[in-house]
Amino acid sequence: MEVSVPGTFDFRLCWVENQESKSGSLGHFTIQPKLVLNEIEVDVTAITMQTIITKCLGDISTWPDHFKLAADLGYNMLHFTPVQELGESNSAYSIYDQLMIANSIFKSTSRPENEKKNYQDQLFEFTPWEKQKINEIEKVFQAAYEQGVLTLGDVVLNHTASNSPWLEYHTEATYNISNTPHLKPALELDMAIQQLSTDILNGKYDCSPFNLRKIANEDDVRKLEEILRNHIIPSLKLWEYLVINIDASIDEFEKFWFIQKQLDNEDSIFNYDTEKLQYMKTMEIYLRLS
């Protein structure tokens, strides 16, 4: 068996015995990468690596100075967090667009005029501007190599920012109560906590016996805990997800059966509000049956 790329691989031996297909247990092996620096092969055990937070590096024109400093300190590899455009949280691993290089690191680079992304017609495709930025990064990484430093880029295709336009077209890629129904109790609790925050801000609990308008000290935390434990969580009746009232469920099923026949898409009842979530506790089993 010839393997042309490094990485970790699985394998399983299969054979035919007495006209019956059989297979062995799953095995694993790793092919180490071949790293070459200044025409000399570097063993992976000889790598001295420093992690670089890309969003903190500044304009790409200044990167060679960082590379030189790293080389002078004895590092022979730099690990970069993603170079893509980051989402609204600005987390180093929360990607707004996996095929869009961060504009913040190209402030000194001339951007082509009228270069705008139309996400409906050009969703997640390379534009000329993106190709230009990639070329600039390749040149800078080549400069690092010439200074005796290898580069390693982090790829996190599954870390998509909550405000990524891609999610508007691929909602199935997110955790939701349609494709992950066991998260319904968690969603209901999250919504209740969010509503509690709004109610506190609006002064709903700024009276006896709570006297809670903001969280400023340990006593306020205890008051908040009391509200959650004794009022909010009990009112959700989360235990209803685990039990069935047989007589009431039969009645609900009969009603639901006729309602469901009138719906073109069962997801149309999945509106994320408290009333619908409560209703879905009993409706979930009927969706499965229908």
156-206 pLDDT, tens per residue?
Answer: 888 899 899 888 888 888 888 878 888 889 999 999 999 998 988 888 888
Is residue 155 a part of any domain in this protein?
A: yes
231, 232, 235, 236: CA torsion to nearest 10: -160
Q: Which two tokens stand for residue 13?
A: 């031996």
> What is the overall mean pLDDT for the chain?
82
| Nearest partner of 149 among 72, 65, 76, judged by Cα | 76
For residue 84, give every residue at least 6 positions away whose Cβ sits within 8 Å of its Cβ, in sequence order, or none. Answer: 95, 96, 97, 98, 99, 100, 101, 102
| 86 secondary structure, DSSP code | E
Residues 101 and 216 in one domain: no
Q: Of 111-115, 140-144, 179-183, which gets the smallest average pLDDT?
A: 111-115
Same domain, 142 and 40: yes
Domain count, the chain: 2
Higher pLDDT, 201 or 280: 201
For residue 26, being part of any structural domain is answered with no
Which ranges in the chain belong to alpha helices (H)? 63-72, 128-146, 165-169, 184-201, 218-227, 233-236, 246-262, 274-289
Tens digits of per-residue pLDDT, 247-269?
Answer: 887 887 777 776 666 654 544 44
**140: domain range?**
35-169
Evaluate whether residue 228 is within a structural domain: yes
- How confident is the model at residue 48, as a pLDDT? 94
Same domain? For 99 and 206 the reply is: no
Mark which of 169, 185, 212 sits at the end of a domain. Answer: 169
**pLDDT above 80: residue 17:** yes
Which of 146, 169, 192 finishes a domain? 169
Residue 103 pLDDT > 70, yes or no?
Answer: yes
Q: What is the pLDDT of residues 60-98, one digit of tens each?
A: 999 999 999 999 999 999 999 999 999 999 999 999 988
Q: Are residues 77 and 128 in the same domain?
A: yes
* CATH number assigned to the domain comprising residue 148: 3.20.20.80
Does the N-terminal peptide bond of residue 64 adopt cis geometry, omega within 30 degrees of 0?
no
CA distance linking residue 71 with residue 150, whole number of Å = 10
Residue in the block written with tokens 């209703």? 279
Identify whether 4 is part of a domain.
no
pLDDT, position 68: 93
Would you call 209 helix, strand, or coil by DSSP? coil
Quote the distance between the C-alpha of residue 5 and its chain's center. Answer: 27
145/186 same-domain check:
no
Tokens of 93: 């691993």
Give the closest residue to 10 by CA, choosing from 33, 37, 29.
29
Residue 115 lies in a domain: yes
Between the alpha carbon of residue 193 and those of residues 178, 186, 202, 225, the distances in Å are 21, 11, 14, 11
Quick one: tokens of 92? Answer: 């180093």
Shared domain check, 46 and 160: yes
In degrees and rounded to multiples of 5, residue 88 shows phi and psi of -65, -25
Q: Beta-carbon neighbour count of residue 18 at 10 Å?
A: 5
Q: Looking at the structure, do residues 82 and 206 belong to the same domain, yes or no?
A: no
Residues 75 and 43 in one domain: yes
* Pair 105, 134 in one domain: yes
pLDDT of 38 reads 84
| Same domain assignment for residues 160 and 212 | no
Q: Is residue 21 part of a domain?
A: no
What element of type H or E holds 95? Answer: strand 95-101
